[in-house]
Amino acid sequence: MTAKVPSVNIFLKKTQLINRPGMSGKIAVIGAFDSTETDPQLFATVGDAQEKFGTDTSYNGCAVVPYLFKGASSLLCVNITTKEGSTAHKDITVDNLDVSLAKIKGEDWDILFIAAPLTDTFIPIIDRYLQKCFEMKFPAGYIGALTGATDDANVASAALAGDFCYGLLTQQFSIGDATLSALESAAYYCGLVAGMNVGNSFTMKTVDGITGVTPELSFETGGSGKKLLEAGITTVKCQDRANDRYVVVNSEQPNGYDLYINRVRDYVVKQFALHQFLGDKNRPKTLNEIKQEVDRVKDLCVNTLDLLEDINYSVAKTDVDCVEVYIDSLLFAGVITTINVYVRIEVE
């Protein structure tokens, strides 16, 4: 009999990457990475992503990964890089964007980030794609950078955005002594949004961690900030320079709704999709179970998570293989954008 040396063994068990209730933090990012991998890859940490897809920041995908992980619960990365010998082709085109989007269609993720400036060509493609995702009951939104030559060009680009926009940014953020590119700044903001409860607005809330913004905009009549703001472009201003407090002026999107309304809408639809019932027999017992499940979802969204004021819906069996859930209305609370303070002075 051989004596054994006592030992303690530690094994890492990978847990399933899921969103906590009220959170939608799974980001899908399409861009150029320092790799020849062509299949979508899921990462739980910055280190995992950099080990597989590289750290060379001349590749836009590599450059934005650390900023997206400011709040993302996971990154689903699709690499568009192709290599011919020592030459790497890093540009996103209509063709490779279409191919990349098709690869992740039908998967469960929450926010799309394109690791390239959003052009007037890309925005309609993304919007049509997300409309199809919505119809498949996997709704999501997108955040990105606009780098038009003028404010008017960026306003025109924003006008192309539909209901699935969560943020279009034109400014550059500073962190310490470093100034991020417009694309990196949009990624930073995207990461922060991913880490927020879907029921939270970003209007007049602090953009944590930044120490400056370029350019600093005027929100007076005729100012660039006011023009961009009215177009639904996310703009940031300094509110407390001594304490490096920079806030989003208004998180209303180009479709006229606040960020939180767009995110909650998509969250609720995803909860109501009831994918787990697909393939079950369409019989009274199952129909009753579906009704109970949508009651549970409403209670979760309205009473437990306090995401919105009310949901009105109905459930009906239409034929032998179809049950329809009608969401008749989603009732949201408005966002406070004006507080009037009245002062009365009395002198005795």
Residue ranges of the alpha helices (H) in the chain? 46-53, 60-68, 94-103, 122-135, 151-158, 182-194, 224-230, 259-272, 284-298
The SS3 call for residue 28 is strand
C-alpha dist (Å) from residue 224 to 132, 208, 216:
34, 23, 9
pTM: 0.93
Pairing between β-strand 172-175 and β-strand 178-179 as defined by DSSP bridges? antiparallel
Q: Output the CATH code of domain 26-260.
A: 3.30.1490.450
Q: Position of tokens 């991998």?
A: 37
CA gap 27, 105 in Å, rounded: 13
Q: Is the previous residue joined to 66 through a cis bond, with omega within 30 degrees of 0?
A: no
279: left (phi over 0), alpha (psi -120 to 50) or beta: left
Q: Give the CA diameter of the chain.
A: 100
Q: Position of tokens 């890093």?
A: 90
CA gap 124, 160 in Å, rounded: 7
Give me the long-range contacts of 211-214 (CB less than 8 A, separation at least 24). 211/174, 211/175, 211/176, 211/244, 212/173, 212/174, 212/179, 212/238, 212/244, 212/246, 213/171, 213/172, 213/173, 213/174, 213/237, 213/238, 213/246, 214/171, 214/172, 214/174, 214/179
The SS3 call for residue 343 is coil
Instruction: Note down pLDDT in tens along the chain; length 348 residues.
Output: 667 777 777 765 555 566 889 999 999 999 999 999 999 999 999 999 999 999 999 999 999 999 999 999 999 999 999 999 889 999 999 999 999 999 999 999 999 999 999 999 999 999 999 999 999 999 999 999 999 999 999 999 999 999 999 999 999 999 999 999 999 999 999 999 999 999 999 999 999 999 999 999 999 999 999 999 999 999 999 999 999 999 999 999 999 999 999 999 999 999 998 888 888 888 888 888 989 999 999 999 999 999 999 999 999 888 888 988 999 999 999 999 899 999 999 999
- Tens of pLDDT, residue by residue over 295-304, are 999 999 999 9
**Where do the domains of the chain lie?**
26-260, 274-348
